[in-house]
Structure 1
Amino acid sequence: MDHAAVLALFDHHLREKARPDGPGARVERVGAVVRQSAHEHGWNGVLWSALGTPGTDPDAVIAEQIAHFTRLGREFEWKLYGHDRPADLGRRLLAAGFVPEPDETLMIADTARTALDTEPPAGIRVAPVTDRAGVDLVADVHERAFGTDASRLRRQLLDRLVDDPGTVVAVVALAGDEPVSSARMELVPGTGFAGLWGGGTVPGWRRRGIYRALVAHRARVAVDRGYRYLQVDASGQSRPVLERLGFAALTTTTPYVYRPVR
């Protein structure tokens, strides 16, 4: 895989030419940025920027985005990638009041070279999520796996399944009737890219190959639907697993979050 070429495709299709990621969301290019504005439980933020272009004032553009989302009453994320310019954009965001969350690694795999034969361990079955009951299972796993509130995830996933089911695949791994792991995949028609998100396993069930099996399961679905590339924002914990499955690290990504004073 030509890493530079694939990264350029990713930037073009999923950032510069991004599409709304759910009902009620709007993506627009305003000057030097591409941003998404959504309802309160949706994702609000800056997807792409050209702040390294000569004649552009990065600090003024940052201030414009703060003003826009503050008018909407939304906290928002500036999704900064390691190759974005200017090189000091992270410092400028910090100075403007953004708070960085943990770094992740953008990893991409060509589905033609991805290990797809991994099956769940004995006693685990993978079930598709298609309704509110399944979404509740995903949210339950998310809260137990990550220790964070899943109310926003619950609403986002249910909205997608109801309004645009062809662009999202969600699964839950069950040990008997107990949900022990879950994950989803977002498909972006016309781009060749499918994004893997939310893979998490509850304590007590980790290190048994469940996460790996859910990655392979979603990869098979992506292949069946004609997608060439799989994309993941990987934590340090999941990166080694993904590398063994055929994913390559292309750059870093850091969410910078701005929370308006209310």
Structure 2
Amino acid sequence: MNLQEVLALYDREQRREIEYPGMSRQVLPRLVRYVRPAPGMSFVLHSDLDEGSADAAINEQLAYFAALQQPFEWKVYAHDRPADLAQRLAARGFVLEEPDAIMVLDVAAAPPALLAEPAADVRRLRDPAQLADVVAVLEPVWGEDFSWVYERMGGHMALPDYLSIFVAYVVGTAAGVGWTYYNPGHFAGLWGGSTLAAYRGRGLYTALLAARVREARARGVPYLTIDAGAMSRPIVARHGFEVITYATACEWRPVAVGLGQSTA
């Protein structure tokens, strides 16, 4: 896998051209932003700036979202310009999260461990009514409100071939979750990747990963991507995922705006 070629393809398909249901894709002269109705989170996903244009672009986005009284996220990638873009955002009041590694698997070269049937009880959800099992895992793992899952992901489940959600069960109890979004082009994205603390160390994360890799392979998807944090990074690296860049989520909220929904 030529990582530079894959990164260029990722930038084009997953940052500039991608479309999201229920969001407005707005292509501006030097950036692409996605706007979701409140209380959902909007975001800037791609920018092509330099030292001379960055501050003005930041000011324009702040003014735009301040007028809407909506929070938004600016996702900064390690290869974006200028090199200090994240620091410029921090200076304007954005809160920076820890960087994630953007990792890619060449699905055709997936290792045998990800292609074998898992020993764990992993099921793909077919009915939005089952999303209670997803929320039952996510809320204790992350300590946040995931009630938005019912409307947003329930709606996405109704779209043909767009979203696949998998849950790992232990004696009938939902213990781990992970899902895949399929977009036109060469990539599908892995998200979720959460296991209840009481069930960690049993291979559930890997079993959920394997189920999604097998499905993507059956669907002819060339590449799988994951925004890998510190906990998942070594696991997926052992299974053939390679880092193509790093991304930092930079979040801004106007005064008096409460917590919104996840951008995932």
Shift of 1:126: 1.1
The 5 A counterparts of 1:1-262 are 1-20=1-20, 22=21, 24-52=22-50, 57-115=53-111, 116-121=114-119, 124-162=120-158, 164-189=159-184, 191-262=185-256
What are structure 2's unaligned runs of at least 5 residues?
257-264
Cα separation, 1, equivalents of 2:130 and 2:238: 29
SS in 2 for 1:204: helix
Shift of 1:41: 4.6
Cα separation, 2, equivalents of 1:69 and 1:113: 43
SS in 2 for 1:134: helix
Shift of 1:118: 4.5
1:149-179 Cα distance to aligned partner (Å, 9 max, x none):
21233332112113x2421110111112210
SS in 2 for 1:83: coil
- Is the CA contact (8 Å cut-off) linking 2:115 and 2:213 kept in structure 1? no
- Is the CA contact (8 Å cut-off) linking 2:128 and 2:157 kept in structure 1? no
- Is the CA contact (8 Å cut-off) linking 1:120 and 1:210 kept in structure 2? no
How many percent identity over aligned positions?
Answer: 38
- CA-atom RMSD in angstroms: 1.5
Cα separation, 2, equivalents of 1:74 and 1:169: 29
Cα separation, 1, equivalents of 2:191 and 2:36: 19
Cα separation, 2, equivalents of 1:241 and 1:202: 16
1:218-257 Cα distance to aligned partner (Å, 9 max, x none):
0111111111000000011111110111100111111000
Cα separation, 2, equivalents of 1:10 and 1:43: 22
Amino acid at match of 2:16: E
Q: Which runs of 4+ in 1 moved over 3 A?
A: 118-121
Q: Number of aligned pairs?
A: 254
Shift of 1:18: 2.0
Cα separation, 2, equivalents of 1:63 and 1:16: 21
Shift of 1:119: 4.1
Cα separation, 2, equivalents of 1:188 and 1:63: 31
Q: TM-score, normalised to structure 2's length?
A: 0.92
Q: TM-score, normalised to structure 1's length?
A: 0.92
